[in-house]
């Protein structure tokens, strides 16, 4: 009988299930700034995702403690560079609440108007950049055309293009330039007249809809668990908007104009639809504010403050419906001219954590679509 020889041939790693770790970022074309995503892959399927943050951290909350109540406004308007006016607004509302200060009516309506114009500017950036990430460059040009239209009036009234520094404790820096409301009304009308480009170019595009419909579905339970807010939460059917639910500024008087946009699908397409429709409603609110300002008699837009401004000892919390979601400001005072503590709750910080829930189970090819639909600013994450 001839002896039998058995030979085992190694076939390498193909015989095993091997996970691969893929780093997206911290500098990568698919990220909105200096963010890193640590993905674990099984083939092309994402099995786990970890957002690694902090690359843009500059310690703004600690710097608040070394600046007086006038100076901290400069720090506050920079973390979300697309929503500078709204960031300033939250800080001064917290300080005014601590002081028990009443703001002149004209300043209240002007703040509401500028906050809504800032909301449109923020949304236009994402309405242009999101299709760009999926391969469509044209909407970006249209978005910047409309942004420039509104930037002109914002720059005229404040002197700044991105960091407006127009809010002050007790009101606003100064009154409007002559004829500004007419020019602002014209800019709002012009932008509204061309917004249907995004409906036609983006929502009407089969490729865009194919890349976003049913992709990255965020459940209402996950929204609540991670503290997600803003258009992303409302796209998952979570009907929360502080402008309606806890009115501040003049939003209580705009209840008949204010409409909260929601969707039930919770996917990338629903998030884009919420953002687009909310932009239309922000333009409507801006028009309503301009109408009310036209009815108001001339008057002051700020309160006279002492040379050294000190908040009384105590603590307070103010929150606002920023363009990207809920921003919260927890202010603690020891009776000095600087805050003892000012904790900032930024919308993007909470929203981006939901990626740990959204990305697992999806393909790498869908990662960019999901990431872009979260509408975040990295500075707003890192503060």
| Domains in the chain: boundaries | 20-52, 60-381
pTM of the entire predicted model: 0.90
Tokens of 309: 């401004």
> Measured between alpha carbons, how far is 318 from 99 in angstroms, rounded to an integer?
13
What is the domain class of 60-381 according to CATH? mainly alpha
Provide the 3-class DSSP secondary structure of residue 263.
coil
Which pair of tokens denotes residue 371? 């990431």
**How confident is the model over 251-297, as pLDDT tens digits?**
999 999 999 999 999 999 999 999 999 999 999 999 999 999 999 99
Element (H, E) at 184: helix 180-194
What distance in Å separates the CA atoms of residue 358 and residue 371, rounded to the nearest whole number? 9
Is the CB of residue 35 less than 8 Å from the CB of residue 25? yes
Summarize pLDDT for 289-347 with one digit per residue, the tens.
999 999 999 899 999 998 899 999 999 999 999 999 999 999 999 999 999 999 999 99
CB 106, CB 132: distance < 8 Å: no
Q: State the helix-helix crossing angle for 268-295 and 364-372, rounded to 10 degrees.
A: 10
Walking along the chain (383 residues) 10 residues at a time, the average pLDDT comes out as 53 57 74 80 90 86 91 88 91 94 94 96 93 89 94 93 90 92 95 92 90 92 93 94 94 93 93 95 96 92 91 94 94 94 92 92 90 88 84
């Amino acid at each position: 009988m001839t002896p039998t020889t058995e030979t085992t041939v190694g076939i390498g790693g193909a015989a095993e299930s091997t996970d691969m770790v893929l780093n997206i970022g911290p500098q990568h074309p698919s990220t909105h700034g200096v963010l890193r995503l640590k993905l674990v892959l099984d083939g092309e399927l994402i099995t786990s995702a970890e957002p690694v943050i902090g690359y843009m951290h500059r310690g703004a909350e600690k710097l608040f403690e070394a600046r007086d109540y006038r100076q901290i406004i400069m720090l506050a308007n920079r973390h979300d560079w697309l929503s500078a006016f709204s960031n300033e607004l939250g800080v001064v509302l917290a300080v005014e609440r601590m002081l028990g200060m009443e703001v002149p009516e004209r300043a209240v309506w002007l703040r509401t108007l500028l906050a809504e114009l800032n909301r449109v500017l923020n949304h236009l950036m994402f309405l242009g950049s999101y299709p760009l990430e999926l391969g469509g460059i044209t909407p970006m040009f249209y978005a910047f055309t409309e942004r420039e239209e509104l930037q002109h009036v914002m720059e005229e009234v404040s002197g700044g293009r991105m960091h407006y520094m127009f809010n002050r404790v007790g009101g606003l820096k100064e009154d409007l330039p002559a004829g500004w409301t007419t020019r602002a009304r014209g800019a709002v009308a012009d932008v509204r007249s061309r917004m249907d480009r995004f409906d036609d170019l983006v929502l009407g595009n089969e490729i865009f809809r194919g890349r976003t419909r049913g992709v990255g579905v965020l459940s209402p339970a996950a929204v609540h668990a991670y503290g997600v807010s803003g258009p992303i939460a409302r796209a998952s059917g979570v009907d929360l908007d502080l402008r309606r639910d806890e009115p501040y500024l003049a939003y209580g008087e705009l209840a008949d104009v204010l409409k909260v946009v929601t969707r039930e699908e919770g996917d990338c397409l629903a998030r884009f639809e919420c953002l687009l429709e909310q932009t239309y409603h922000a333009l409507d609110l801006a028009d309503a504010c301009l109408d009310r300002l036209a009815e108001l008699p001339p008057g002051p837009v700020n309160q006279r403050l002492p040379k050294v401004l000190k908040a009384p000892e105590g603590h307070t919390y103010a929150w606002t419906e920023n363009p990207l979601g809920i921003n919260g400001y927890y202010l603690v005072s020891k009776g000095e001219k600087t805050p003892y503590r000012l904790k900032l709750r930024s919308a993007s910080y909470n929203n981006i954590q939901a990626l740990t829930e959204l990305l697992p189970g999806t393909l790498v090819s869908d990662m960019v679509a999901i990431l872009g639909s979260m509408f975040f600013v990295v500075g707003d994450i890192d503060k």
